Structure 1
Amino acid sequence: MSLYMTRFSYTPKAWEAFAKNPEDRSDVFRELVERLGGQLLSFYYCFGEYDGVVIFEAPDEATATATIITAITPGHLKATETTVLVSVEDTVEAMRKADPRRYRGPELWTTPS
């Protein structure tokens, strides 16, 4: 399964609803992820540009996309940003496979010093 990290922000109306009726949204999101064949690994709230971050596994990109589409449908989220996470092992393997000699840069390109 692939790993995905989604950062999200709630709308002001959603925060108003949470202030009136506090709710653990990690349980709701976990149920969604599991129903679609994935697994929720982490759910955190944070300060900054986004209100929270989730890390979850999904069997494929279509399932990950369906998870986020389903999660945003109620309209309580104002923004999401999903990133595919790559393990250190897979990144090192990619580094070994990469061969800069096989890809020519633009004409007149000089390597920055």
Structure 2
Amino acid sequence: MPKFLIQASYTSEGTKGLLREGASGRRAAVEQVVSGLGGKVEAMYFAFGRDDLILIIDFPDPVSMAAASLAVKASGALDTRATPLLTVDEIDEAARRQVAFRAPGAQGG
């Protein structure tokens, strides 16, 4: 199952909701969304600094991740970034694939 790193920052309205519900209330809401799309929350941490929330989530496919992202962003409660995570084996496979690429300005032959 594809794995994603989610980094999120609460808006002021989102922070008010967090204060009302507490972290456990938000965890339950996240798990409901993710499991409803066939996924699983591997890890969820609250932080401070640039990001307020860090998640590692497994989804069955990238479309499920996009659906969750659209719903969350439409709420206006969070600003999020999703990063696909790849295993060591997946990067090894990618490194073995031949890719024809010419850098801009390089002489091609």
Shorter-chain TM band: 0.7 to 0.9
- Percent of residue pairs bearing the same amino acid type: 26
Within a 5 Å distance, the mapping from 1:28-39 to structure 2 comes to: 28-39=29-40
TM-score normalised by length of structure 2 = 0.81
Deviations 1:59-94 (A, max 9, x none): 1111111012222333221x1111111111100111
Distance change in 2, residues 1:21/1:83 (3 Å): closer
Q: How much has 1:108 moved relative to structure 2?
A: 4.7
* Structure 1 gaps, min length 5: none
Report the aligned-residue RMSD: 2.0
* Partner Cα distance (1:107, 1:19) in 2: 54
Q: Computing the radius of gyration over CA atoms, which structure comes out larger, 1 or 2?
A: 1
* Structure 2 gaps, min length 5: none
Distance change in 2, residues 1:21/1:2 (3 Å): closer
Distance change in 2, residues 1:20/1:92 (3 Å): same
Aligned length: 106
Which stretch shifts more, 53-62 or 10-19?
Answer: 10-19
* Partner Cα distance (2:6, 2:83) in 1: 6
Question: Match for residue 50 of structure 1?
Answer: 51
Distance change in 2, residues 1:17/1:29 (3 Å): closer
TM-score normalised by length of structure 1 = 0.79
Q: How much has 1:43 moved relative to structure 2?
A: 0.8
Deviations 1:25-59 (A, max 9, x none): 11210111011111111111122211111111111
